[in-house]
Amino acid sequence: MTAAYTELERRFRRLSLLGEAAGILQWDMAAVMPDGGAGIRGEQLAELKVVGHEAIVDPRIADLLDKAERDESAALDPWRRANLHEMRRAWRHASALPGDLVAALSRTVSECEMRWRGARAANDYKGLQPLMQRVLDLTIEAARIKGQRFNVDPYDALIDEYEPGADAARIAAIFDDLAAFLPGFIERVLVRQAAAGPIAPLGGPFPAARQRALAETLMRAIGFDFDHGRLDTSHHPFCGGVPEDVRITTRWDEKDFTRGLMGVLHETGHAMYERGLPADWRLQPVGAARGMALHESQSLLVEMQACRSREFVSYLAPLAAQAFGGTGAAWGVDNLHRHYTRVARGLIRVDADETTYPCHIILRFRLERALIGGDMTLDDLPAAWNAGMKELVGIVPPDDKDGCLQDIHWPGGAWGYFPTYTLGALAAAQLFEAAVRAVPGIPAGLARGDFAPLMAWLRPNVHAKASSGTTDEILAAATGKPLGTDSFKRHLERRYLA
């Protein structure tokens, strides 16, 4: 390795460690921190963001990047060249913004995220709106600065933070394709399910402690290592931490164990991706997850493709019956599988089935694009949300709590993130289809609670690739084609109408 590149690796290792420290503090804030700690935690996170920002915008970084790209790139192996490319991308995003804007955005987001918890519980959109307006204004300022620097639309600059290289035009085309397909498909499924008669209820209550014990059993079956991770409770399920210390959170509903359980399995998919990233490139940009579309593909592949399959439910059914003392036909494979594949027009994104879920995401994509572009204001948001829900999902929220207040993402500053959920669902279907084609024994393994064949395929084809290529390059190498909608549509047709 040459001098400039070696120095860049050293500096970016330090930056990665700072970012991971901030990530653990954010997990703590969401999972265990008392509300009274919010003020100082916001200051801590802001200071870490400023320290990291100052380190990456150090003029020496720009000089080193220029030198390594000009004089040394040809001498580097493919992974180091890819690492240099990812370093440049990280520097471009960071150097575009002044430090005072980075600090202000961090502080405001921390405050707004904590305020959102109470506002949602109280159905108080108006009470949250002034602080959320500050988050939006700062986000628009950052987006405009980056858009001018990168010569792209401001919203595309935000998307690029979560899904490198993606843009709103391509996403809109994909989403328009789904919006044309899904309403009619959903109606056909609803008619078919109605004809099959009612699903037998599972009873309850389901104590949270028993739900957790069952969840941990299933996490171990998937391959989660509790020596390198943990499961906690939060207001909103997420996966955080670092590859050596993965932090999963969920929320439990003692009236319905199916929701919290699938939330855990979803986040376990994220965790398996993090644990499978290449150790040789730990703390370097190329060793990080490629982007949130692939990250979501791994969570949705585990939850939707694998764990809602009939094969996996045949493994789950007796475990669930034992955990909760369930007896009778309601606890059989057929009825439990109907619970896990039930299609319904619902208000809440995180509880949506896989056929209606993309409709929730298309709505959020359209709304946040309009808000960032100045075509809509936060005053308009509740009414626009309700109209979009009626058009796309066929149901109207009775209040803001179950409408535009339901997600943490906008109060938490994650503008441009939402599209990756459905891009991830498309990638998950594409990857699972390719995996089963390559390893036909995967479904039989799921029926035994054996995820090893599936993980053995995902490790080299997705996890170990990290950020060594683009999302489309990784997908094309694994499945033979870039991201598209065909596999997802085939999956829905097979599961719900075959």
- 3-state secondary structure (DSSP) of residue 397: coil
For tokens 């399910």, the residue is: 193
Distances (CA, A) of 191 to 197, 353, 368, 496: 10, 16, 33, 11
Residues 54 and 178 both lie in one domain: no
By CB atoms closer than 10 A (0-12, 13-18, 19+), residue 106 is: buried
Residues 115 and 232 both lie in one domain: no
Give the count of domains, the chain. Answer: 2
What is residue 1's predicted lDDT score, i.e. its pLDDT?
Answer: 60
Residues 201 and 224 both lie in one domain: yes
What is residue 351's predicted lDDT score, i.e. its pLDDT?
Answer: 86
Residues 205 and 255 both lie in one domain: yes
Catalytic residue among 86, 113, 267, 296: 267
DSSP state string for 222-284: HT--GGGEEEEE-SS-EEEEETTEEEEEE---TT-HHHHHHHHHHHHHHHHHHHHS-GGGTTS
Given a contact cutoff of 8 angstroms between Cβ atoms, the answer to whether 435 and 458 are in contact is yes
Cα separation, 22 vs 295, in Å, equals 20
Last residue of a domain, one of 101, 121, 152: 152
Indicate which CATH number applies to the domain containing 287. 1.10.1370.30
Last residue of a domain, one of 97, 119, 152: 152
Residues 231 and 115 both lie in one domain: no
Is the torsion defined by CA of 135, 141, 143, 146 positive or negative? negative
Cα separation, 335 vs 397, in Å, equals 29
Residues 145 and 166 both lie in one domain: no
- 3-state secondary structure (DSSP) of residue 401: coil
- 3-state secondary structure (DSSP) of residue 398: coil
Residues 162 and 146 both lie in one domain: no
Residues 223 and 328 both lie in one domain: yes
Q: What is the mean pLDDT of each run of 10 residues along the chain (498 residues)?
A: 90 95 91 91 90 93 95 91 96 92 92 94 97 98 96 97 95 97 96 96 94 97 96 87 94 93 95 97 97 97 98 98 96 97 95 95 98 97 97 96 96 96 98 98 98 98 98 98 97 96
**What range does the domain containing 16 cover?**
3-152
pTM confidence score:
0.93
Q: Is 267 a catalytic residue?
A: yes
What is residue 204's predicted lDDT score, i.e. its pLDDT?
Answer: 86
Residue 160 is inside which H or E element, if any? Answer: helix 154-162
Q: Nearest-CA neighbor of 88 among 106, 109, 62, 114?
A: 62
Residues 143 and 265 both lie in one domain: no
Distances (CA, A) of 262 to 51, 237, 347, 463: 38, 11, 18, 22
Residues 234 and 324 both lie in one domain: yes
Cα separation, 488 vs 498, in Å, equals 14
Cα separation, 226 vs 230, in Å, equals 6
Given a contact cutoff of 8 angstroms between Cβ atoms, the answer to whether 142 and 101 are in contact is yes
Cα separation, 16 vs 264, in Å, equals 27
DSSP bridge pairs for 229: 246
| Cis before 237 (ω within 30) | no
Among the residues of 325-418, which ranges form H helices? 333-340, 357-373, 381-392
What is residue 46's predicted lDDT score, i.e. its pLDDT?
Answer: 87
Q: Nearest-CA neighbor of 298 among 480, 477, 471, 497?
A: 471
Last residue of a domain, one of 120, 152, 184: 152
Residues 405 and 390 both lie in one domain: yes
Question: Which backbone phi and psi does 231 adopt, to 5 degrees?
Answer: -120, 130
C-alpha angle 282-284-287 in degrees, rounded to nearest 5: 60
What is residue 350's predicted lDDT score, i.e. its pLDDT?
Answer: 85
150 is written with which tokens? Answer: 């990168």
Residues 82 and 161 both lie in one domain: no
